[in-house]
Amino acid sequence: MSDQSVIGRRLRKVDGSAKATGKAVYTDDIILPGMLHAKILRSPHAHARILSIDTSEAEAMPGVRGVVLGHEMPKRYGIIPWTPDEQALAVDKVRYIGDGVAAVAAVDEDTANAAIRKIKVEYEVLEALMDPKVAAARKDLVIHDWNPRQVEKKGNISKHVDLAFGDVDGALASADVVVRNEYFFEGTTHAPIEPHCAVAQWEETPESDGTVKGKLTLWSATQVPHYLHRELAAVLEQRPDDRELALLLGLARRAMNQPVEALAALDKALVTEPSYAPALHTIGEIVLAQGGEGAEAEAAEWFQKAIDAVPTHARSGVQAAKLYDALHRYGPKRRVMAQTARSADRGLPPNDRAHFLYDTVMAFDDVGRLSKAAEFASEAARLEPGNAAYVSMAALAATAKGSALDGLNLLAPVLQRDPTNLEALLARARIYIDTDDIAKGFIDLEAAKTVAPRDYRISLWEARFDLRLGKFTDARTAVTRAIKLAANSAEPNVMLGRLDLSLGDVDAALGNAEEATKKAPYSASAHTLLGDVFVRRGQLDKARETFAKALELDDEDIEARIGHANALRDEAAKSNDPGASAELAQAIPLYLAALAAEPKNPQVLFEYGRALELQGDLPAALSLYRDAASLDEKDPRPHLKMVAAYLEQGEVAEAKASLERGRNIEMASGVKSAEVRYWEARVAMEDNRIHDAVASLRLAVDMEPRNALYHYWLGRALEKNNSLYEAITYYEKAVKLNSRLAAAHRAIGWTALERHQFDKARQAFEDYKESAPHDRSIWVDIGESYTRQNRDDDAMNAFKTAIKYLPDNGQALLQIGNILARQGEEKEALAYYQRAVKAEPTLSAAWCQLGIALARKDLSSDAKKALERCLADEHAPDDMRATAQDILQSR
């Protein structure tokens, strides 16, 4: 063999020794004086239009030397010359997950990483094409729409290339066997010793003619230096011989006169290249195999990155879903299941595909979002038309999308083959109940009960059936039976707790919520129920903590989002200026996020409307209530919300009109509503029609005997009707049903004062303090209880406590003045009367006392003015008005 021949010979790697001994210098080993570090902000979306980029916070950070955006170097390039479809950084839109959007150069990596997190990018998310066949066929959605020729002629095909070697047709025709199939090969990538890295240095040399010559040098981990040389020169619009090698970092460097390094860690390098999905998946498997604290969460992130990069990489999606389930992160679990299901035809074997689709549908049905998974349910039934469970779920999904007839048609052949199929019977009952065909729904539920008498799901649907008919007692009985049948399931407890809460039995709801969280500590719905109970009990700190737990379990739980916002809103309502409070400022974005997620959810519209009321924007709130009403013309509740809003604004005529619309809906339904009776009573009380109010509230209490709020307001109406002892009975029933109904405790306290039961009154006021710890005005009530006992020292302490928290509480200032006057401290008393009228100019008793106190010295103009204010106010105490009259006449 010739010495010059290389065939059959093992040749020594020229760089082997340097790499094995650690002497090799990689790009990341290069450290230049004053070197900055660059990082790239990458897109989280596969396809989105860039609406705006705000870099102000990043640029203002200490240690940040510069930020570069795509418009500074918009020229397109491509490794293959005839396909220049790339840009150094995205300009108009992003076209894959990991597409670069902005670059930051800073004094160190940590600062650069922190800075890119400060950059705010607003995207308009566009439809993404995940399948090359679909992309090739779509002419209406062109990814590279910047090129008119691409739009008009090519669609999403970059270039047509036909390759043929030999006589293909002849070979096929003469072959003994021809096997035709479609094969899919996973993307692959290298496993480099060094990560993607580049270091750029700009040098300036003065020329003899006075100009400055610039030179940009780049050290890059690349196998195509000449391609890089050519494309960089094109992007920077320079001749190739003007520079050696460079990257976008060179542009940042040119502005800052310092060298720059950009290092992409392995996870960032892999996620920016879709072909790297198998490598991402393998990293996830390695992390999971190594174990340790946080391994499951970290592995799930790697599997998620893999499915983000290649949606057909189904095994990554399946594995991520399993890990999210084990981690009790149900929102990400549903999202990755849906993401995987959309490409299940390419990523899963046929025998596994239908089962995975069904599991995905069930995950959405569990949270009441079945319509979002209708396409998966339909595909599962198509793949296995003989599977009754799959067909039943497809029927329910079709109904959720508004096609109940299609759903019933899907179930018909299943029940013809097997009239006792439980899943099909339950599905048909659900469809009938949802479409108000109550009689047929009842028949199917009875048939299902015969087939499986111990299946608790039947009892739950029976309860929903009863609720549709307004049979609350029967519904409670059915849910209680479900609890006995499903000893370890929290679902019946959650349903019973919701029923209790809707009927005003807050303490019973608390018991069921606590039992549900005990049975299922990782149930988001159980924690959301508990949070709602805490809101009703006024325990807002506990409520926020509980909603946070629910959202940790399921970040898509709309009820938890709304509950969290409601807790903040109710906290804001306690402040002196609710509209300007920090709590309301925190609540509004939560409502907007919920509204963006579910723009046609009436509950979201209701609660956001209440927040806008608190801001003082009643027209906007009423608009939301009307929108909610238009979503369901059979629901009187939006109109009743408008009644409440109008009453708060003192617009009784408008409240009556809204109440009438609610009544009309109630009459058309044939089902009497306790809530309608309640608002009838509230309107009647505003009209001073106390007898009508009492009658309506008695009906409401009869219909919902465990509603604490109705009992409280019946007590209020009876007290106005001079039926004090009966009023007390209803106040006491209210606090038995809801031990934290603060208004009822206060009412009990004042009725006790009227009967000179001072200890009982103060105990009620103490109960109020516990129920409403933020309302310091109760100290005025406590002070009044001592005043009526002639215990001036105790009263003084209580009133001073009140003004410690509420310096402008006119009633407390007035009472302190009265005590001082009784003690002969007339000068000090006068000062408190003056503070009282300044704090509350409408407080008539304060004007009376001020005028009387001033007149003791002489009838000055100030004294006369105060006495005249006293006489002019018909709400002023009669004895004080008489004294004022005598003083004015005698002088």
pLDDT of residue 679: 94
> Which of helix, strand or coil describes residue 262?
strand
Interval 97-124 mean pLDDT: 91
Per-residue model confidence as pLDDT tens digits over 601-638? 888 998 898 898 888 888 888 888 888 888 877 788 88
H helices of 224-265, where?
Answer: 225-235, 248-256
Write down which residue in 348, 365, 380 finishes a domain.
348
Q: Is residue 742 part of a domain?
A: no
Same domain, 260 and 282: no
Looking at the structure, do residues 36 and 146 belong to the same domain, yes or no? Answer: yes
What CATH number corresponds to the domain at position 230?
Answer: 3.30.365.10
Q: What average pLDDT does range 144-158 have in this prediction? A: 75
Looking at the structure, do residues 238 and 224 belong to the same domain, yes or no? yes
* Domain edge (last residue) among 271, 293, 326: 271
Assigned domain for 699 exists:
no
Average pLDDT of the residues in 769-787: 91
Structure confidence by residue, pLDDT tens digits, 561-595? 999 999 999 888 877 778 888 899 999 999 998 99
CATH number, domain with residue 52: 3.90.1170.50
CATH no. for residue 315? Answer: 1.25.40.10
Least confident of 147-151, 247-251, 350-354: 247-251
Q: Is the pLDDT of residue 704 over 70?
A: yes
630 in a structural domain: no
Residue 235: Cβ within 10 Å count = 21
120-125 and 100-106 strand pairing: unpaired
291, 333: one domain: yes
Q: Output Rg (C-alpha) for the chain, integer angstroms.
A: 37
Mean pLDDT over residues 669-675, rounded?
Answer: 81
Same domain membership, residue 244 and residue 308? no
- Is residue 251 located within the same domain as residue 289? no
Is 338 part of a structural domain of the chain? yes
**What pLDDT, on a 0 to 100 scale, did the predictor assign at position 243?**
35
Selection from 15-19, 174-178, 233-237, 690-694 with the highest mean pLDDT: 690-694
Supply the pLDDT for residue 244.
Answer: 34
> To 5 degrees, how large is the angle CA 561–CA 565–CA 569?
165
879 is a domain residue: no
pLDDT in tens, 526-568: 999 999 999 888 888 999 999 999 999 999 999 999 999 999 9
What's the rounded Cα separation, in Å, for the pair 198 and 250?
10
Least confident window among 33-47, 57-71, 205-219, 233-247:
233-247
Query: Does any domain span residue 83?
Result: yes
Residues 166-188, buried b or exposed e (16+ Cβ, 10 A)? eeeeeeeeeeeeeeeeeeeeeee
Are 283 and 312 within one domain?
Answer: yes
Q: Tell me: pLDDT of 153 over 70.
A: no
From 718, 721, 720, 722, select the one nearest 732 (Cα to Cα). 718
pLDDT at 656: 92
What residue numbers bound the domain in which 304 lies? Answer: 276-348
Q: Tens digit of pLDDT for each residue in 825-855?
A: 999 999 999 999 999 999 999 999 999 999 8
pLDDT of residue 3: 66
* Residue 207, amino acid: E
If you average pLDDT over residues 206-216, what whole number do you get? 71
pLDDT tens-digit map of 254-289: 444 566 666 666 555 555 554 567 778 888 888 888
User: Nearest to residue 430, comparing CAs of 413, 448, 414?
Assistant: 448
Q: How many domains does the chain have?
A: 3
Q: Are 192 and 207 in contact (CB under 8 A)?
A: no
Two structure tokens written together for 80? 């293959």
> What's the half-sphere exposure (Cβ side, CA atoms, 13 Å) at 783?
25
Give me the amino acid identity at 511.
G
What is the identity of the amino acid at 712? Y
Q: Which residue has the higher pLDDT, 491 or 73?
A: 491
Same domain, residue pair 225 and 283: no
> Does 663 have pLDDT greater than 60?
yes
* List of residues 6+ apart from 614 with CB closer than 8 A: 569, 572, 573, 578, 579, 584
CB-facing half-sphere around the CA of 208: CA atoms within 13 A = 0
Q: Return the minimum-mean-pLDDT range out of 241-255, 325-339, 611-625.
A: 241-255
Q: What's the pTM value of the predicted model, to 2 decimals?
A: 0.63
- CA–CA gap between residue 430 and residue 453 (Å, rounded): 17
**Band of pLDDT at residue 230, cut at 50, 70 and 90:** confident
- Which of 243-247, 328-332, 472-476, 637-641: highest mean pLDDT? 328-332
Exposed, middle or buried by CB within 10 Å (0-12, 13-18, 19+), for 154? middle
Question: Do both 67 and 148 map to the same domain?
Answer: yes
Lowest pLDDT segment from 89-98, 392-401, 573-582:
573-582
Higher model confidence: residue 76 or residue 834? 834
| Same domain, residue pair 294 and 252 | no
Among candidate residues 139, 154, 169, the one where a domain is terminated? 154
Q: What percent of the chain has pLDDT over 70?
A: 92
Structure-block tokens of residue 2: 């010739």
Residue 255 domain flag: yes
Residues 149 and 38 reside in one and the same domain:
yes
Backbone CA torsion sign across 109, 192, 307, 54: positive
Same domain (yes/no): 142, 66: yes
Question: Residue 87 falls within a domain, yes or no?
Answer: yes
